Amino acid sequence: MTQFPHLFAPLTLRGATLKNRILSTGHDTTLPTDGTVNDALIEYHRARAKGGVGLIITQVAGVHETARYTSHLLMATTDACIPGYRRLAEAVHAEGAVIFSQLFHPGREIMESADGLLAVAYAPSAVPNERFHVMPRVLSLEMIEKIIAGYASAAARLHEAGFDGVEFVASHGYLPSQFLNPRVNLRQDDYGGSDANRLRFLRQVLAAIRAATSEDFVIGLRISAGDRDEDGLTLPEALAACVALEPALDFVNVTTGTSASVGGAVHIAPPMAYPAAYFAADAAPFRKALKIPVFVAGRINQPHEAEAIIASGKADVCGMTRALICDPAMPAKAKAGAVEDIRACIACNQACIGHFHRGLPISCIQHPETGRELTYGTLKPASRRKRVMVVGGGPAGMKAAITAAKRGHEVTLFESSTQLGGQALLAQLLPKRAEFGGIITNLSREMELAQVQIRRGVTVTRDLVQAEAPDAVIIATGARPYVPDLPTDGQVQIVTAWQVLRREVRLGARVVVADWRCDWIAPGLAEMAARDGARVTLAVNGLHPGEALPLYVRDSIAAELHRLQVEVRPYMRLFGTAEDTVYLQHTASGDAVEIAGVDTLVLSLGHLPVTGLADDLAGLGLEVIEIGDCLAPRTAEEAVYDGLKAGVRL
């Protein structure tokens, strides 16, 4: 008897039956390299199907040449796509999951082109896109007919390849949504000017898909329950469209947000600053008004959240994509009642959507095996069991210990403090970053399951290593704050980010935060100081705050700094202090910049590696591997990946 009876109840959609209500929603993986399905994508989805997911909806498939919104889009415009899709469907079906594909045209939402040139975008009307600064060309009637035919032929190819259904993407301000939205669709022909005319494109596409496939082929619609943008589609408009289109649909998949604006796009993959399952309530009106099943997705990280949504009648299926990126076996663990063993997503967005926005294959900072299934999908047992010392209990050391132990080595982890976690213990203290501490909880549980021995409060020396007599030592001793030799007369208090986070200092009424890293640390410190009542200037040695961060994390931070009236100064290089003044230099112009009346200067200038142990161990004849910040100060993503590679290397 499962503790999640609603989540693990089967659901039949026309010719397909889902074994549970857990959905991996359509999301771009950036794994395909030539517009077709490849081995990397197949293994990525196979891992999630093997982990017990009920339904996989694969990433968008372009239906027309003008649908190329990125340089790495899967295309379903020729029969060349069929063999790859067939292999993918067979792999997923073999593991007991159902598979659909998204059918896609972005309209004016064009991010990039393959050759770096600006693309020609098409939309119902010449209404510009704010986020990508695209002015679209108005679709002609002939082009509309070709795109409708493209949807039909793409669906036919997927049907031939063995897919169970398709999802017509009308969410996030993409082309079908542009037709629906009266503020974007300004046409006065058969495709605009009235509610019925604005629905015409969607009706014709759905009819064409059904005619090109079969009666048992599943056809669904993905739509935003409001774009959360003043010019976007509203919830009542989206709901009315779904009610009108219901006879042609087998399900509706509800999400929120739009690609068209910075504020609306944050909701496409909301970061940890947003509460779990925060817009599930928006699905409830759809569930009430429609007789067909309603799906919902967005920040649903844990099975108990999904169970509650379904039990309350808000939706029938829950999209849990980032949860599955983080732990492909989450459904199987939930069904078995092993909820403590689930590696919970912390919505950092760093390696999933963050990689996608950089044009890189997606992964997960906690589970770097994701997106690398061909290399790390199966850990090979060690050819010889070794005694391994891991020095440092931060994310790098913990992942190394887990990986080595899983491969059969005898592993002991040594941590000099009484707590595991390293800098993650500090990261979780920043505003709206408490969930980051989940990486410690998850890795700690994995160490327990892998039977890693842990010794806290122990500083490792050469003598201790000689006494332990290991075969290998993995060094993960981390980093410390970088404090440059600044000219100062001592009148302005100068403190580090770590001191502020530990509440070891009082900041005063006027604070300057010097930000060299351009990540989430300095903006978080600025927010803390502002909330404590200080007047704050964030001096960024970059183009803008959060320059190194995933877009949606950065944009959420920018919004909060604006609300708190934190002064942001970009292009700032810290020079020093004198009396009550902080001196900076504009990095582009070279001009001097002065900020007077300052009580405290907070340094967020990066870190220095804690080295030395490797040198101390020279001559002992041991295999020594340095990983994480002691190798080079970076982020938790690199630290955990270093740990994985070190554990595999032994």
- 38-69 tens-digit pLDDT: 999 999 999 999 999 999 999 999 999 999 99
Give the tens place of pLDDT for each residue, 483-510. 999 999 999 999 999 999 999 999 999 9
User: How many residues are recorded in the chain?
Assistant: 650
Q: Name the amino acid, one letter, at 83.
A: P
Q: Which two tokens stand for residue 270?
A: 């909301």
CA-closest candidate to residue 524, choices 483, 504, 553, 481: 553
Catalytically annotated residues: 174
Q: Which residues of 165-188 are buried (b: 16+ CB within 10 A; e: fewer)?
A: bbbbbbbbbbbbbbbbbebbbeee
Q: How far apart are CA 176 and CA 179, in angstroms?
A: 5
Q: Where are the alpha helices (DSSP H) in 18-112?
A: 39-50, 82-94
Q: How far is CA 172 from CA 117, 175, 186, 419, in A?
A: 24, 9, 19, 43
Matching residue, tokens 């067939």 = 86
SS3 call for 254: strand
Q: Which two tokens stand for residue 612?
A: 């030395």
Q: What is the pLDDT of residue 2?
A: 81
Q: Which residues of 473-486 are buried (b: 16+ CB within 10 A; e: fewer)?
A: bbbbbbbebbeeeb
DSSP per-residue letters across 173-213: T-HHHHHH-TTT----STTSSSHHHHHHHHHHHHHHHHHHS
- The DSSP output letter for 134 is B
Which residues are 134's β-sheet partners? 129
- The DSSP output letter for 461 is -
Q: Which runs of E-coded beta strand occur in 561-639?
A: 567-569, 572-578, 581-586, 592-595, 600-604, 607-609, 623-626
Q: How far apart are CA 15 and CA 248, in angstroms?
A: 15
Helix H or strand E encompassing 441? helix 438-449
CB-based contacts of 603: which residues, under 8 Å, 6+ apart?
481, 482, 483, 494, 495, 496, 497, 514, 574
In whole numbers, what is the pLDDT of the chain averaged over residues?
A: 97
Q: How far apart are CA 140 and CA 360, in angstroms?
A: 35
Q: What is the pLDDT of residue 179?
A: 98
Span between the terminal Cα atoms of the chain, in Å: 41
Angle at 572 between CA 571 and CA 576, to 5 degrees: 165
Contacts 24+ apart (CB under 8 A), 182-191: 182/237, 183/127, 183/231, 183/232, 184/123, 184/124, 184/125, 184/127, 184/231, 185/124, 185/125, 186/124, 186/125, 186/127, 187/124, 187/125, 189/141, 191/124, 191/144
Q: What is the pLDDT of residue 1?
A: 67
Matching residue, tokens 């393959």 = 114
Give the tens place of pLDDT for each residue, 372-418. 999 999 999 999 999 999 999 999 999 999 999 999 999 999 999 99
Q: How far apart are CA 642 and CA 349, in angstroms?
A: 19
Q: What is the pLDDT of residue 113?
A: 80
Residue 46 near residue 55, CB atoms below 8 Å = no
Its pTM stands at 0.96
Q: What is the pLDDT of residue 202?
A: 98
- For the chain, which domains are there? 11-375 (3.20.20.70), 382-481+609-649 (3.40.50.720), 493-605 (3.50.50.60)
Other CB atoms within a 10 A radius of the CB of residue 12 amount to: 11
Q: What is the pLDDT of residue 108?
A: 96
Q: What is the pLDDT of residue 329?
A: 98
Strands 22-24 and 74-75: unpaired
* Residues lower than pLDDT 50 in the chain: none
